[in-house]
Amino acid sequence: DDVCTLDTCVDGGCLYDIQDIEGCCEPLPLEEDFEGTSPFGWSLQGGGGQCTWQFLSGNQSKSPTTALYYGNATAQNYNCGITSGNAVLGPISLQPEVELSFSAQVWLDTEMGSFYDKLQLRGKTDTGSGTIWTKGFETKKAWFEIKADLSAFAGRTIHLDWYFDTFDGTINDGKGVFIDDMKITSTCAAVPCSFDSDCSDGFTFTSESCESGTCSYSAP
């Protein structure tokens, strides 16, 4: 009996379908598996030579059959000299005053570390931006999951920006970067707290405080 859901009994069990009604919370604001057209829209920018951000099918994906890829799809490497590019998704409008989490699957065949072959995910709003995740010394040639707390962006309209930069033209004979199964999930409730420290999201570009038992954030 929730105005935000259509409630039905199917085969002896209750089924609750979220309705697109203003003011109602969506527990899965983003689910991007690259298997169809995104409702938010992608902008693929930059690159050099045959190396670009692109949607690649039948090669390397976490869930069949397509993933977001940076590199040369024909040569199966990113050996195109010094190149960089952005894959930007959005705008995505996020519910205010709720807890939000981001996750994605990443597969890398690049130089390890955060300087050469830099890979970052950035969150951008109309007033600023901040880095959500940066590649470090993660396992090469294996899928791994990244997670981040996006609660500081609640109530904002955000663009998610994957940025890749080789920084040099050497040791670029690996397959490159693959991204799959991006999600933003919500508890549809505010983040509870007792102290300011309970609200820490790990970002240097936000400030957090505990006010009346729930977390309050400021973000760019």
Over residues 120-175, the pLDDT tens digits come to 999 999 988 999 999 999 888 999 999 999 999 999 999 999 999 999 999 999 99
Higher pLDDT, 14 or 53: 53
Alpha-carbon gap, residue 63 to 66, rounded angstroms: 7
Whether 20 has a pLDDT exceeding 70, the answer reads no
Return the SS3 of 148. strand
Average pLDDT in the chain: 93
Model confidence, pTM? 0.89
| pLDDT number for residue 219 | 80
Whether 200 has a pLDDT exceeding 80, the answer reads yes
CA distances from 175 to 107, 108, 116, 122 (A): 10, 8, 15, 23
Whether 183 has a pLDDT exceeding 70, the answer reads yes
The number of beta carbons lying within 10 Å of the beta carbon of residue 120 is 16
Burial 175-207 (b: 16+ CB within 10 A, else e): bbbbbbbbbbbbeeebbebeeeeebebebeebe
Pairing of strands 144-149, 66-71: unpaired
Whether 4 has a pLDDT exceeding 80, the answer reads no
Determine phi and psi for 198, rounding to 5 degrees: -65, -15
